[in-house]
Amino acid sequence: MSKRNTQQRRHIILNHLAEQGEVTVDQLALQFDTSEVTIRKDLAALENSGLLLRRYGGAVPLPQEIIQAENNEKVSNRKLSIAREAARHVKDHNRIIIDSGRTTAAIVPELNQKRGLVVMTNSLSIANQVHELENEPTLLMTGGTWDARSESFQGQVAELVLRSYDFDQLFIGADGIDLERGTTTFNELIGLSQVMADVAREVIVVVESEKIGRKIPNLELPWSAVDTLITDSELSIELQQLIGAHQVKVICAQPIK
């Protein structure tokens, strides 16, 4: 079989799995005329999406009890629409930072068609996602002190590592958006976020509209540090104008049909 693009190949893998009850790496590599490394990345990505369970040498269908549990954790359509819009702003060979968070993590699979990327992150889970991309971006990690609450590396070591580089873009989420002050967070460790913004030429906040207007005590990034805010299509015109008054470009992602 001639080589297909990634999305098509993974769709066929799932069809084979449903029909046969299991698939093996060597058989799939032969069928698609591709490397076993590529097939393992396919299976890893499908496992991360909750669509199968890897085992040595291949994969099997996900047990029903796991499917039910993971359905509660699926990325919402709003997050996906924001992620896809954010990915459109990434050009080939860009150097980007992706901060920890669910909305930022949703951006990673949308980067698979970009070439020559350099991706820095402070999140182990995001690093694993980046590693599984078939386009194989250069992956950098901040290191530092592990913060269990944010599930990310923080602290002075991480800040020093970041200051050793410069980046085209930072993609960062928020627990809340204070319309007067900027992005806010429950986490008191805000130093790394501020350094990320300092070393990036463009700061892009990705956040669902339901968080906009939510006031949380800890100011993470003031509006003066933010260039663009990407949210979903449910944000009102009035709130768009209030944020835009701070010289921030507001983009409302089109819903996924």
48 with 174, same domain: the answer is no
Question: Which tens digits make up the pLDDT trace of 126-166?
Answer: 999 999 898 889 999 999 998 877 788 999 999 999 999 99
Residue 122 pLDDT grade (very low, low, confident, very high; cuts 50, 70, 90): very high
Would you call 44 exposed, middle or buried from its count of C-beta atoms within 10 A (0-12, 13-18, 19+)? middle
In this structure, the answer to whether residues 132 and 82 fall within a common structural domain is: yes
What is the predicted pLDDT for the residue at 187? Answer: 75
Residue 188 is encoded by which pair of tokens?
A: 């008191």
Query: What would the pLDDT profile of 175-186 be if each residue is shown by its tens digit?
Result: 899 999 999 987
Range of the domain at 42: 6-71
Q: Which of 27, 51, 71 is the C-terminal boundary of a domain? A: 71
Q: How far apart are CA 184 and CA 178, in angstroms?
A: 7
Q: Which residue has better confidence, 69 or 31? A: 31
Residue 59's domain is classified under what CATH number?
A: 1.10.10.10
Percent of the chain whose pLDDT exceeds 90: 64
Q: Note the pLDDT of residue 140.
A: 96
Number of domains in the chain: 2
Q: Sign of the C-alpha dihedral, residues 149, 166, 113, 77? A: positive
| 5 has pLDDT over 90 | no
- β-strand partners of 121: 98, 141
The predicted-structure confidence for 195-219, as pLDDT tens digits, reads as follows 999 999 999 999 999 999 987 888 9
Asked whether residue 1 is domain-assigned, the answer is no
Output the CA–CA distances (angstroms, integers) from residue 118 to 22, 124, 141, in the order listed: 35, 16, 11
